[in-house]
A and B are shown apart, each in its own frame.
Chain A
Amino acid sequence: MRSIIKDGQVAQDCWQVLRADTEGQYPAVAADVDVIIPLALWLADKAAWQGRAGQTAVWLAPDEDPQQLAADLNSLPLVAVDFPAFTDGRGYSLGRLLRERYSYAGELRALGDVWVDLLHYLWQVGFNAFEIKGGKDLDGALSGYDTFTERYQSTHREPVPLFRRRVTSL
């Protein structure tokens, strides 16, 4: 059990993230654990993963195409996007694509180099669960939701951009 931030609060979590070791090998996964696996493993053998006792979810690397998951989105319990470095902003576009283009409505989790200063943007583009990086303050990260109380753009959370709301309310 480990804590993450989900839907605005600290939550207990049992999902394991499957990552390759330095040799590119994947550790074995027990049949009954809930596991988030890389896209490549999922695409290689969906049926086997679906047949396990535990649940299976998928994580995307920043250079992967969410379209490859489009057909499975309805059946996946969770989708995650990895942020290998917080300065790698590709995952923000992936979040929006998953939500807005492929209409994914389930849990969207940010993994990796994720901490308080990124939460607001991640939430805006559609992420609702955050695995806070080890060593970073988890409870403190909750304040990241409220860093900004308004924004200019059309986002997943507030599709009508500020300029429209301004003019309409005049």
Chain B
Amino acid sequence: MYRYDEVDHRIVRERVEQFRDQTQRFLSGELAEDEFRPLRLMNGLYVQRHAPMLRVAVPYGHLASRQLRKLAHIARKYDKNYAHFTTRQNIQFNWPELARVPDILEELAEVEMHAIQTSGNCVRNTTTDAFAGVAQDEVLDPRAYCEIIRQWSTLHPEFAFLPRKFKIAVSGSVEDRAATQVHDIGLHVVRNETGEVGFKVIVGGGLGRTPIVGEVVKEFLPTRHLLTYLDAVLRVYNRFGRRDNKYKARIKILVKAMTVAGFAAKVEDEWLHLQDGPSTLRDADVAHYASFFTDPAYDLLPSNPPELVEKQATEPAFARWLERNTRPHKQAGYRSVVLSLKKTGVPPGDITAEQMDAAADWADRFGYGELRVAHEQNLILPDVRERDLYEVWQLAKSQGFATPNVGLLTDIICCPGGDFCSLANARSIPVAEAIQTRFDNLDYLFDLGEIDCNFSGCMNACGHHHIGNIGILGVDKNGEEWYQITLGGSQGSHTTIGKVIGPSFAQADVPLAFEKIMAVYLEQRTDGERFIETVRRIGLDPFKERVYAKHH
């Protein structure tokens, strides 16, 4: 894991001081609301329904146990004992007091954390595969590059006031688990014919009001050119992105307006001047950052030890959890454990201070002190010995972390919606809960198999509803909360935007609509066919017919 040196510490401390000064000037009336707003947003501070909301960066989803303990402490001391993991691997506090935010930042700085650029029209937290470094299908561990990008993007003097927010995601594996095609820039590690490693650069993806799957602007960018190329893309966007209309200000609109070829040519032209400049990465530079992400001292262990196999055979509940909530590891004798934050009745992604402390302890005891945040809003222990899994399962159960639903219908990605967010058209949390309750029967849930269900409370799409196999969007109809359902979306290497199946539903009717959709799937699926595959094969009509059938 990356560790700060004196300079990183100093920069973060200076940022805290700057923000403390800005907050004081706002509270004393020296800074107007319109002046303070962009400044506080750049530091992750929204003003929401009940209180400010503070979003803390978890760079590329990497957390050390001591950091998670600090987050627990902050939840206790400054908030209401809980926090919320977001789809961009960050964590949010819903109830801090504005005047105390600088103190929170100071506490975060002690454990090498901050809220820099977690909101606002600047380069946001870089995200990646939650299984980076331990995944079996990895081409290259992307984390050194994530850290290089994090540093490059942090307080970049040229790009502090972009037309709109800017999100970068990096994938280092064969299967894209970082939703790179719906980011402003998606970077995919690839090898060219000669075996050289580079990035495929995808630009202009994004959801929100205008969902667009990103397009390739450069098939192969040698890794050493990463930063000069990013500078070129950002400069073209900074200069030419629209600033007259915030709904047309994302880079995706610029790319569409210029066409991807036109945009790529403009970037290439800019890059000509920057290429091979001082920001070119040398091998030694990359090696320096990679040195923070070496493997822990894994024990040499056999796969599938007898104690695991035995429990698996005798305890079906454990076997179920093992199947759903753990993942294969590149190291024999180890697996990654996903702690599900999708227990029925708990808002998806919410975590209590007590759970944070517990997870931090398990990370120390079973997993080299590290955790990851998944963009599906779950928490991960990346390196757990298989022989410890049974014990970890029991502990996870005791803390409400062991719902065996990872990747299943009730593992809903969900934004905070109307309960917390002032932009919402509709509440999302109670509806997600109603769906989870409806599909609470584990046999049925397992039978349905892998389904991504994504939920947003308005068209800003914080819950990525467009790329859910089944998506829900809160809409406003004459002041009432209604819900639109989409089918056929998917994330990953073949990202597609889902299609609306028809008129929206009243809140109470959503679970029933889900039930009918699932019934059609069960009737129509062929052997081993996943939900999304059936939807792709048979199209939307059979689902529409069932859901909207008139009762007689």
Cβ of B285 and Cβ of A154 under 8 Å apart?
no
Cβ of A117 and Cβ of B282 under 8 Å apart?
no
- Quick check: is A147 within 8 A (CB to CB) of the other chain? yes
What residues of B have a CB within 8 angstroms of the CB of A124 in the complex? 157
- Quick check: is A167 within 8 A (CB to CB) of the other chain? yes
> Would you list which residues of chain B between 5 and 26 have a CB under 8 Å from chain A?
5, 7, 10-11, 14-15, 18, 22
* Chain B: CB-nearest residue to A144: B18
- Quick check: is A93 within 8 A (CB to CB) of the other chain? yes
| A90 to B243 alpha-carbon distance, docked (Å) | 10
- Quick check: is A26 within 8 A (CB to CB) of the other chain? no
* Chain B: CB-nearest residue to A150: B7
What residues of A have a CB within 8 angstroms of the CB of B154 in the complex? 152
Surface stretch bound by B, among A39-47, A51-59, A73-81, A157-165: A157-165
Given contacts A92-B157, A150-B7, A167 and B273 within 8 Å (CB-CB):
no
What residues of B have a CB within 8 angstroms of the CB of A19 in the complex? none
Contact mask for chain A residues 74-106; partner B; CB cutoff 8 A; 1 contact, 0 none: 000000000000111110111010001100000
Contact mask for chain B residues 231-265; partner A; CB cutoff 8 A; 1 contact, 0 none: 00001001100010000000000000000000000
Total CB contacts across the A-B interface at under 8 A: 101
Cβ of A152 and Cβ of B10 under 8 Å apart?
no
Given contacts A87-B121, A101-B273, A164-B285, A159 and B278 within 8 Å (CB-CB):
yes
- Quick check: is A145 within 8 A (CB to CB) of the other chain? no
What residues of B have a CB within 8 angstroms of the CB of A92 in the complex? 157-161, 238
What residues of B have a CB within 8 angstroms of the CB of A128 in the complex? none
- Quick check: is A2 within 8 A (CB to CB) of the other chain? no
Kindly identify which residue among A93, A96, A152 contacts B152, using a CB–CB cutoff of 8 Å: A152
Cβ of B158 and Cβ of A162 under 8 Å apart?
no
| A128 to B486 alpha-carbon distance, docked (Å) | 54
* Chain A: CB-nearest residue to B148: A163
Cβ of A121 and Cβ of B277 under 8 Å apart?
no
* Chain B: CB-nearest residue to A94: B239
Cβ of B279 and Cβ of A154 under 8 Å apart?
yes
Kindly identify which residue among B11, B35, B159, B285 contacts A89, using a CB–CB cutoff of 8 Å: B159
What residues of B have a CB within 8 angstroms of the CB of A96 in the complex? 158, 235
Cβ of A162 and Cβ of B151 under 8 Å apart?
yes
State how many angstroms separate the Cβ of B529 from the closest Cβ of chain A: 48
> Would you list which residues of chain B between 155 and 171 have a CB under 8 Å from chain A?
155-162
Which range holds the interface residue count of chain A? Answer: 35 or more
Given contacts A86-B35, A92-B160, A164-B278, A117 and B22 within 8 Å (CB-CB):
yes
What residues of A have a CB within 8 angstroms of the CB of B155 in the complex? 148, 151-152
- Quick check: is B288 within 8 A (CB to CB) of the other chain? yes
Interface size on B, residues (CB 8 A): 39
Cβ of A117 and Cβ of B159 under 8 Å apart?
no
> Would you list which residues of chain B between 127 and 163 have a CB under 8 Å from chain A?
148, 151-152, 154-162
> Would you list which residues of chain A between 105 and 158 have a CB under 8 Å from chain B?
117, 120-122, 124-125, 147-155
| A93 to B157 alpha-carbon distance, docked (Å) | 9
* Chain B: CB-nearest residue to A153: B156
| A148 to B273 alpha-carbon distance, docked (Å) | 28
State how many angstroms separate the Cβ of B270 from the closest Cβ of chain A: 10
| A161 to B39 alpha-carbon distance, docked (Å) | 25
- Quick check: is B430 within 8 A (CB to CB) of the other chain? no
Cβ of A149 and Cβ of B10 under 8 Å apart?
yes
Cβ of A151 and Cβ of B10 under 8 Å apart?
no
Cβ of A153 and Cβ of B279 under 8 Å apart?
yes
Kindly identify which residue among A87, A88, A160 contacts B278, using a CB–CB cutoff of 8 Å: A160
Quick one: which of B14, B155, B227, B285 has the most chain A CB within 10 A?
B155
What residues of A have a CB within 8 angstroms of the CB of B400 in the complex? none
State how many angstroms separate the Cβ of B117 from the closest Cβ of chain A: 12
| A13 to B151 alpha-carbon distance, docked (Å) | 38
- Quick check: is B208 within 8 A (CB to CB) of the other chain? no
Contact mask for chain B residues 462-474; partner A; CB cutoff 8 A; 1 contact, 0 none: 0000000000000
What residues of A have a CB within 8 angstroms of the CB of B156 in the complex? 152-153
What residues of A have a CB within 8 angstroms of the CB of B235 in the complex? 93, 96
- Quick check: is B38 within 8 A (CB to CB) of the other chain? yes
Cβ of A148 and Cβ of B14 under 8 Å apart?
yes
Cβ of A151 and Cβ of B158 under 8 Å apart?
no
What residues of A have a CB within 8 angstroms of the CB of B148 in the complex? 163
| A117 to B160 alpha-carbon distance, docked (Å) | 11
- Quick check: is B284 within 8 A (CB to CB) of the other chain? yes
What residues of B have a CB within 8 angstroms of the CB of A170 in the complex? 288
* Chain B: CB-nearest residue to A96: B158
Kindly identify which residue among B22, B157, B279 contacts A125, using a CB–CB cutoff of 8 Å: B157
Other A-B pairs, 11, CB within 8 Å; known A152-B11, A161-B279: A89-B121, A90-B238, A92-B158, A121-B158, A152-B152, A154-B279, A155-B158, A161-B152, A162-B7, A163-B288, A164-B285
- A selection of 25 A-B contacts at a CB cut-off of 8 Å is A86-B35, A86-B38, A87-B161, A89-B238, A92-B159, A92-B160, A93-B158, A93-B235, A93-B239, A96-B158, A100-B273, A147-B18, A148-B14, A150-B7, A152-B151, A152-B152, A152-B156, A153-B279, A155-B157, A159-B278, A160-B278, A161-B279, A163-B289, A164-B285, A167-B282
Chain A residues within 8 Å of B, Cβ to Cβ: 86-90, 92-94, 96, 100-101, 117, 120-122, 124-125, 147-155, 159-164, 166-167, 170
Which 6 A/B pairs are nearest by Cβ-Cβ distance?
A89-B161, A124-B157, A121-B157, A152-B151, A92-B158, A154-B278
